[in-house]
Amino acid sequence: NAGVTQTPKFQVLKTGQSMTLQCAQDMNHNSMYWYRQDPGMGLRLIYYSASEGTTDKGEVPNGYNVSRLNKREFSLRLESAAPSQTSVYFCASTLREGRTDTQYFGPGTRLTVL
């Protein structure tokens, strides 16, 4: 039981390059989330997927796209990377039970855009 896994752990891109961040969970959760965290700041929600086949924008969706490939996997794509997207990206899987939500986070992807 690996929980939430993210790949890659580190990535350096040049401005204008594209890449996809991968996230997978083996906890059979319906909801998955992508956040970014800039140095010394809190987490900001980029996109989330409440269930397989659905995705919704969060607080800072511009410059990103997502794909909920199946129940296990939720990927985040940067089509044309910009230096402002330098950040740590966290994926989370969410257990929803009644009125409670508990999130389980991956180890993060540290992205630098030059």
Three-state secondary-structure class, residue 60: coil
Q: How many Å apart are CA 48 and CA 98, to the nearest integer?
A: 19
Cβ 24 to other proteins shortest distance, Å: 15
Contact between 108 and other proteins (CB under 8 A)?
Answer: yes
Q: Any idea which residue has 């997978």 for tokens?
A: 24
Among 17, 19, 22, 43, contact with other proteins (rule: CB under 8 A): 43
Place of tokens 């900001």: 44
The answer to whether 20 and 8 have CB atoms below 8 angstroms apart is: no
Contact with other proteins (CB under 8 A) among 34, 48, 64, 74 = 48
Q: Is 60 in the site for other proteins (CB under 8 A)?
A: no
27 within 8 A of 91, measured Cβ to Cβ: no
Binding other proteins (rule: CB under 8 A), the pick from 17, 22, 58, 60 is 58
Contacts to other proteins from residues 14-33, by CB under 8 A: 33
What is the nearest approach in angstroms of other proteins to the Cβ of residue 52? 17
Peptide bond into 8 cis (omega under 30): yes
Amino acid at 44: R
CB of 19 or CB of 88, closer to other proteins? 88
Binding residues for other proteins, rule: CB under 8 A, are 33, 35, 41-45, 48, 56, 58-59, 90, 92, 94, 99-108
